[in-house]
Amino acid sequence: MTGREVEQVLLHAAEAEPRIRFYDHWIAVDLLLESKITGERGRPVRADRCWGAYVLAGTHGPVVPFIARATFLATGGCGKVYLYTSNPAIATGDGIAMAFRAGARVANLEFVQFHPTCLYHPDARSFLISEAVRGEGAVLRTLDGDRFMERYDPRAELAPRDIVARAIDAEMKQRGDKHVLLDLSPIKRERILERFPTIAATCARFGYDITAAPVPVVPAAHYMCGGVVVDLRGRTDLPGSTRRAK
User: Based on the domain organization, do 232 and 172 belong to the same domain?
Assistant: no
User: Based on the domain organization, do 186 and 218 belong to the same domain?
Assistant: yes
User: Based on the domain organization, do 171 and 154 belong to the same domain?
Assistant: yes
User: Based on the domain organization, do 52 and 97 belong to the same domain?
Assistant: yes
3-state SS assignment for residue 222: strand
Give the whole-angstrom CA distance, residue 164 versus residue 149. Answer: 7
161 is catalytic: yes
Contact 179, 172 (CB under 8 A): yes
Contact 178, 119 (CB under 8 A): no
CATH number, domain of 191, equals 3.90.700.10
- Please state the domain count of the chain: 2
246 residues of the chain, pLDDT tens digit each: 788 899 999 999 999 999 999 999 999 999 999 998 888 777 787 789 999 999 999 888 999 999 999 999 988 889 999 989 999 888 999 999 999 999 999 999 999 999 999 999 988 878 999 999 999 999 999 999 999 999 999 999 999 999 999 999 999 999 999 999 999 999 999 999 999 999 999 999 999 999 999 999 999 999 999 999 999 999 999 998 765 544
The pTM assigned to this predicted structure is 0.80
pLDDT at 243: 59
- From 233, 227, 222, 144, select the one nearest 183 (Cα to Cα): 144
3-state secondary structure 16-84: CCCCCCCCCCCEEEEEEEHHHHHCCCCCCHHHCCEEEEEEECCCCCCEEEEECCCEEECCCCCHHHCCC
Residue 23 lies in a domain: yes
Residue 4 lies in a domain: no
User: Based on the domain organization, do 126 and 79 belong to the same domain?
Assistant: no
Contact 104, 45 (CB under 8 A): yes
Q: Containing domain of residue 191, as a range?
A: 112-223
Contact 181, 215 (CB under 8 A): yes
Strand order in the sheet with 112-119: 112-119, 215-224, 180-183, 139-141
Residue 238 lies in a domain: yes
CATH number, domain of 75, equals 3.50.50.60
- From 32, 27, 36, select the one nearest 90 (Cα to Cα): 27
Q: Kindly name the residue from 141, 161, 166, 191 that is annotated as catalytic.
A: 161
Residue 10 lies in a domain: no
pLDDT at 242: 63
User: Based on the domain organization, do 37 and 75 belong to the same domain?
Assistant: yes
